[in-house]
Structure 1
Amino acid sequence: MALIRLFFIAFVVLSIVYLSLSLYSRSRARDRLEGEWDESDKTMPRDAFVREGLQDYDGSLRRKLIWGVYIVPMALVCLTIYLVNFA
């Protein structure tokens, strides 16, 4: 029962960290795109340029690497539990 409680609390905390990190990263991408638009020759409207850039960001490797917030800590906890009990 304690293990289930540990994983539940860890999931909640990691979800908050993931959400914060995801929003921060998306905000940085938006700021970068707005800066690129300001420095470019402005061939398309700003909103369309930023929207297209954020669609590219949604499929990027950086966005996928943020999932490591869940994977790495949970894997370390599972490894620790295994090593303590079976090694």
Structure 2
Amino acid sequence: MFALLQLLVVGFVVLTVVYVALSIWSRRVRRAKLINEWNDEGRIGDQDAFVQDGLQEYDESLRRKLILGVYVVPIVVIGTIIYLTNFY
């Protein structure tokens, strides 16, 4: 039982680190794309407001929510492996 608890705690910590790193990376990529879009289109006005509006849309997007799969996929895979190992 202690081994399972240890696996869950370590796994949660590792997945949290991966989730945070992936979230930061994805947000930086989106910010860079918004800045490039601003520069390519030769817009006039406030670039920071354009980028902030784009990032706000990104925060509400499906892509942002799909990053939570970092938690779901490994849990499903480990659960499936444990089930198949014990019951088949």
Fold agreement, TM-score > 0.5: yes
Q: Which residue of 1 aligns with 2:69?
A: 68
Q: How many residues align?
A: 87
Matched, 1:18 2:16: no
Matched, 1:2 2:3: yes
Which one-letter code corresponds to 1:19 in the other structure?
V
Q: Where does the alignment leave 5 or more consecutive residues of structure 2 unmatched?
A: none
SS in 2 for 1:4: helix
What is the aligned-residue RMSD (CA, Å)?
1.1
Matched, 1:28 2:37: no
Cα deviation, residue 40, structure 1: 2.0
> Identity of counterpart residues, as a percentage?
49
Which one-letter code corresponds to 2:83 in the other structure?
Y
Moved over 6 A (4+): none
TM-score, normalised by the number of residues in structure 2: 0.92
State the alpha-carbon separation in 1 of the partners of residues 19 and 45 from structure 2: 33
TM-score, normalised by the number of residues in structure 1: 0.93
Cα deviation, residue 42, structure 1: 1.9
